[in-house]
């Protein structure tokens, strides 16, 4: 695969994640100024081991997200092996 395409795709994904994080912080700040409750949580993937933290209601959703992310990483890492042996 063309290295320029991979670089561009990685850059776009990085910038999208960065903008998403900035938007989340801004939305949380605006919501907290209005007096509404703020709920949050997150997933940290250390290899195949997910560490899920946050609100009790969000943990089920975050575990599901962690599984989806793991499957995507697995597929992305297997595709080059299949393509290079073909």
Q: What is residue 13's predicted lDDT score, i.e. its pLDDT?
A: 93
Q: Residue ranges per domain, the chain?
A: 1-38, 40-86
Q: Which of 72, 71, 69 is nearest to 45 (CA)?
A: 69
pTM of the predicted model, to two decimals? 0.47
54 by Cβ neighbours in 10 Å (0-12 / 13-18 / 19+) ranks as middle
User: How do residues 20-45 score in pLDDT, each as one tens digit?
Assistant: 999 988 887 887 777 666 677 777 87
CA distance 86 to 84: 6
CA distance 44 to 53: 9
Sign of CA dihedral 60, 17, 35, 51: positive
Q: Looking at the predicted structure, is the pLDDT value of residue 76 above 80?
A: yes
């Amino acid at each position: 695969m063309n290295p320029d395409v991979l670089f561009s795709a990685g850059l776009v994904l990085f910038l999208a994640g960065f903008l998403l994080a900035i938007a989340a912080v801004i939305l949380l700040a605006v919501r907290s100024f209005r007096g509404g409750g703020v709920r949050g949580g997150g997933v940290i993937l250390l290899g195949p081991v997910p560490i899920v933290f946050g609100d009790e209601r969000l943990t089920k959703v975050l575990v599901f997200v962690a599984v989806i992310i793991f499957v995507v990483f697995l597929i992305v890492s297997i595709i080059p092996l299949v393509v290079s042996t073909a």
